[in-house]
């Protein structure tokens, strides 16, 4: 081996360290000692003193050194980091609390509602919000307790939103993932399908589908909306997959013999979770709005089942005389949409590893 | 000598680009024996990385295409294998260490998980506990201190050198007979390079793997390689032992590489860079592709018109693809005088 070239670009020896002789023993004591010396940032000069130790117990010894030198490093897992970053986003945290309260109220509507949502009480028609008789949000034109109707309406609307976001995320991720990972002709074909869905006259299709297939069932309406919402997700997921599949760790995984499905599910998808979760929260917000619009037009949820949009539609003709019929469900729609959007915002910041914890 | 682990015969790879067909690798042949380190040097675009990507079956699709040749891994022609069969070969019979350890690890999983994964891909029955134990052993073997703690850390908690050690641990996880290292130290700073070089040396001591070391760093070659393949314009222009290449180069390109390298051990008067640019692979010069930049060609018709093949210059495997390789010995003396590198007995360099 020509030692003449040594040192041109490489320094194989660290000044101050004893010349290593290759003993041919299988253990890597020297390299390990070296690593210890560097890790404890004590510099190579003092390394020999630090590494005079029995072969076993290196780790314990290093831990002692680190404790003494105050070099303890606090470990944070990925999720701990994400949680910490999310908690710094005040608006997102407040929104999350509000959302949780609203969701719990909807889930436990049976327990919380003072009346049945379709219990007609004609003597108490069109009462303004009052504490009397627990009509917190007043009553509607048929004397039905509006607080109870709102609770059940929330349940319907949130259920629809959940179905829309889950179904459209699954479809969007699968389609976008295949397009982005495979690329080429498959990508082209799938993206043209997405374009096709995007150019459809949204509202007209929705109205026709809901009229013939929806039949007023929240679950069916959710699936119908999902068919129109997955396209945005597919585009986002495709973009993320396109960039991730070129990453070196994907190539490294392939070089280690990983199959396509392993690369997609273990290496790419977890890295794409940030954008996917954020897009999903945004879908929730717009799904609530579109479902409200659909019900408002009379093609969504059918009476007597309440949904937030349906409640507004029913109350619109008495907007002047009974303001609460439109205002209260309206406020809920706005609050839910805003809260979900803020949570999405917070999640995006928290899931982006390039954002530093302050 | 024993059977080679890897034998590449007349390997050809081309890329279809908008500008035309790029013949990135054009008839490359080399062998790697067990326990041997084969250094592959050359400028950027000389086809050294593309050759091994082709060998690994990792050429970008659909642009990259293997046009011909054979790749024998432990006596099996792996170019004929199905994609599925290649998955079993990759990581198991041959493994690769990539250039940039910063991006070669998946940021959302712990390093330990990823090494254990490399084990479990090829050993489906291995339990998680066994995989973890073996991973910790591997991390220790490549010189990661406190492997038990390091197992549960994420790539961002590792330094660059540590990450490259982890990548090496992943590559040697299944004791592959062949390890390919594609510029393993390029992204690291000099002191870390030295540590990684040590790790490679130790790995070679311990296992019987053959190592293909791709680099444009001649210093690294001198440190690690037993034999060297010099590539230019997608072809092998010279091959020989590391001593032959550094002390008795027989190709003007190799000579140019040595003369353009600053050295600590020599009182050099000046560096002699190779004039011109590496050739465009779409439009290679006729004849010997190095002739427009060659100080010896002098416009000779032979250089311009005829493509040289590898000629043996000694009976122990030293070969050069130069029509006038016999003249290089004389050229050595001239160049040595100009640069101030020691020269005696027709050999360059001090040691």
Q: What is the pLDDT of residues A141-187, one digit of tens each?
A: 777 778 888 888 888 888 888 899 999 999 999 999 999 988 888 99
Query: Is A6–B148 a contact, with Cβ atoms under 8 angstroms apart?
Result: no
Average pLDDT of the segment spanning A321-350: 85
Where are the CATH 1.10.3720.10 domain residues in chain A?
A: 78-351
Q: What is the pLDDT of residues A194-247, one digit of tens each?
A: 999 888 887 788 888 877 776 667 888 888 888 888 998 999 999 999 988 888
Each residue of A254-274: b (16+ CB within 10 Å) or e? Answer: bbbbbbeebbbebbbbebbeb
CA distances from A10 to A30, B214, B215 (A): 19, 16, 13
CA distances from A222 to A162, A287, A336 (A): 8, 8, 17
Q: What is the pLDDT of residues A118-135, one digit of tens each?
A: 777 777 776 777 767 677
Stretch (H or E) spanning A170? helix A146-182
Confidence (pLDDT) at B341: 81
* A74 near B CB under 8 A: no
Concatenate the DSSP letters of all residues of A237-304 into one string: HHHHHHHHTTSHHHHHHHHTT--HHHIIIIIIHHHHHHHHHHHHHHHHHHHHHHHHHHHHTTSSSPTT
Average pLDDT of the segment spanning B264-278: 81
Query: Is A8–B263 a contact, with Cβ atoms under 8 angstroms apart?
Result: yes
A304 cis-preceded (ω within 30 degrees of 0): yes
When pLDDT is cut at 50, 70 and 90, the band that residue A57 belongs to is: low
> Can you give chain B as a three-state secondary structure string?
CCCCCEEEEEEEEEEEECCEEEEEEEEEEEEECCCCEEEEECCCCCCHHHHHHHHHCCCCCCCEEEEEEEEEECCEEHHHCCHHHHHHHECCCEEEECCCCCCCCCCCCCHHHHHHHHHHHHCCCCCHHHHHHHHHHHHHHCCCCCHHHHHCCCHHHCCHHHHHHHHHHHHHCCCCCEEEEECCCCCCCHHHHHHHHHHHHHHHHHCCCEEEEECCCHHHHHHHCCEEEEEECCEEEEEEEHHHHHHCCCCHHHHHHHHCCCCCCCCCCCCCCCCCCCCCCCCCCCCCCCHHHCCCCCCCHHHHHCCCCCEECCCCCCEECCCCHHHHHHHHHHHHHHHCCCEECCEECCC
Residue in B closest to A26 by C-alpha: B206
- At residue A110, does pLDDT exceed 50? yes
- At residue B32, does pLDDT exceed 60? yes
For a pLDDT cut of 70, what percent of chain A falls above it? 72
Residues 89-148 of A with CB under 8 A from B: none
> Taking each helix axis from N to C terminus, what angle separates A58-69 and A29-39, rounded to the nearest 10 degrees?
10
Average pLDDT of the segment spanning B54-75: 86
Q: In what order do the strands lie in the sheet with B178-182?
A: B94-97, B178-182, B210-214, B37-41, B227-232, B235-241, B319-320, B311-312
A31 vs B88, B146, B198: nearest CB? B198
Going along chain B from its start, the domains and CATH numbers come out as 6-225 (3.40.50.300), 230-348 (3.40.50.300)
Residue in B closest to A13 by C-alpha: B194
Query: Is B121–A353 a contact, with Cβ atoms under 8 angstroms apart?
Result: no
ipTM over 0.85: no
- At residue A290, does pLDDT exceed 80? yes
Residue B157 CA neighbour count, 13 Å, CB half: 19
Strand partners, B20: B17
Check the CA dihedral B256-B261-B266-B270 and report its sign.
positive
Confidence (pLDDT) at A354: 59
Query: Is B118–A62 a contact, with Cβ atoms under 8 angstroms apart?
Result: no
Average pLDDT of the segment spanning B33-54: 89
Q: By C-alpha distance, which of A218, A211, A220, A212 is closest to A301?
A: A218
Q: How far is A6 from chain B (nearest CA, A)?
A: 6
- At residue A28, does pLDDT exceed 60? no
- If you average pLDDT over each of A68-77, A298-307, B115-124, which comes out highest? B115-124
B103 vs A4, A26, A249: nearest CB? A249
A-chain CB neighbours of B172 within 8 Å are: none
**CATH of A78-351 among 3.40.1160.10, 1.10.10.10, 1.10.3720.10, 3.90.1150.10:** 1.10.3720.10
Give the alpha-carbon dihedral of A235, A238, A240, A242, to 10 degrees: -140
């Amino acid at each position: 081996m020509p030692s003449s070239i040594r040192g041109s670009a490489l320094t194989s020896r660290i000044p101050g360290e004893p010349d290593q002789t290759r003993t041919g023993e299988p253990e890597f004591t020297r390299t390990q000692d070296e690593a210890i010396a560097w890790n404890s940032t004590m510099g190579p000069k003092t390394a020999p003193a630090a590494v005079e130790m029995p072969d076993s117990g290196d780790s314990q010894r290093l831990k002692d050194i680190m404790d003494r030198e105050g070099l303890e490093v606090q470990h944070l897992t990925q999720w701990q980091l994400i949680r910490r970053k999310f908690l710094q986003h005040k608006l997102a945290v407040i929104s999350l609390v509000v959302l949780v309260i609203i969701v719990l109220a909807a889930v436990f509507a049976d327990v919380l509602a003072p009346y049945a949502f379709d219990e007609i009480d004609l003597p108490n028609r069109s009462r303004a919000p009052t504490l009397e008789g627990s009509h917190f949000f007043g009553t509607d034109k048929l004397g039905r307790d509006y607080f109870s109707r709102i609770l059940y309406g929330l349940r319907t609307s949130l259920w629809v939103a959940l179905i829309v976001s889950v179904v459209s995320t699954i479809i969007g991720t699968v389609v976008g993932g295949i397009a982005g990972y495979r690329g080429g002709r498959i990508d082209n074909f799938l993206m043209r399908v997405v374009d096709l869905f995007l150019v459809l006259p949204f509202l007209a299709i929705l109205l026709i589908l809901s009229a013939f297939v929806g039949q007023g069932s929240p679950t069916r309406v959710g699936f119908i909306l999902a068919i129109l919402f997955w396209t945005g997700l597919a585009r986002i997921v495709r973009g993320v997959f396109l960039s991730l599949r070129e990453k070196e760790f994907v190539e490294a995984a392939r070089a280690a013999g990983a199959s396509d499905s392993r690369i997609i599910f273990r290496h790419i998808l977890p890295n794409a979770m940030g954008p996917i979760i954020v897009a999903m929260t945004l879908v929730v917000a717009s799904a609530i709005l579109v479902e409200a619009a659909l019900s408002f037009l009379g093609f969504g949820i059918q009476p007597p089942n309440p949904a937030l949009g349906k409640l507004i539609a029913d109350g619109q003709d008495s907007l002047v005389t009974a303001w609460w019929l439109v205002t209260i469900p309206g406020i809920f729609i706005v609050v839910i949409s805003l809260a979900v959007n803020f949570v999405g915002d917070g999640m995006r910041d928290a899931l982006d590893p390039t954002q530093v914890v302050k | 000598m024993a059977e080679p682990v890897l034998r590449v015969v007349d390997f050809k790879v081309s890329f279809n680009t908008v500008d035309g067909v790029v013949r990135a690798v054009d008839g490359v042949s080399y062998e790697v024996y067990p326990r041997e380190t084969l250094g592959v040097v050359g400028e950027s675009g000389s086809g050294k990385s593309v050759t091994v990507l082709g060998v690994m079956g990792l050429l970008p699709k659909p642009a990259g295409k293997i046009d011909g040749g054979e790749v024998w891994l432990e006596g099996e022609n792996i170019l004929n294998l199905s994609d599925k069969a290649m998955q079993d070969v990759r990581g198991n019979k041959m493994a690769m260490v990539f250039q940039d350890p910063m991006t070669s690890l998946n940021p959302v999983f712990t390093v330990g998980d990823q090494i254990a994964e490399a084990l479990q891909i090829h050993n489906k029955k291995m339990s998680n506990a066994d995989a973890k134990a073996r991973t910790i052993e591997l991390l220790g073997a490549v010189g990661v201190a406190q492997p038990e703690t390091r197992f549960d850390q994420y790539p961002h908690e590792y330094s660059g050198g540590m990450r490259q050690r982890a990548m090496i641990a992943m590559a040697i996880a299944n004791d592959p007979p062949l390890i390919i290292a594609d510029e393993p130290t390029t992204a690291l700073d000099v002191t870390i390079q030295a540590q990684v070089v040590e790790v490679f040396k130790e790995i070679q001591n311990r296992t019987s793997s053959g190592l293909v070391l791709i680099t444009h760093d001649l210093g690294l070659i001198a440190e690690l390689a037993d034999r060297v393949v010099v590539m230019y314009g997608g072809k092998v222009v010279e091959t020989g032992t590391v001593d032959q290449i550094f002390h008795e180069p027989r190709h003007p390109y190799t000579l140019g590489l040595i003369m353009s390298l600053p050295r600590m051990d020599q009182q050099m008067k000046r560096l002699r860079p190779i004039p011109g640019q590496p050739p465009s692979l779409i439009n290679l010069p006729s004849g010997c592709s190095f002739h427009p930049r060659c100080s010896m060609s002098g416009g000779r018709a032979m250089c311009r018109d005829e493509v040289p093949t590898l000629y043996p210059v000694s009976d122990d495997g030293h070969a050069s693809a130069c029509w006038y390789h016999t003249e290089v010995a004389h050229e050595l003396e001239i160049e040595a005088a100009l640069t101030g590198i020691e020269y005696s007995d027709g050999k360059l360099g001090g040691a």
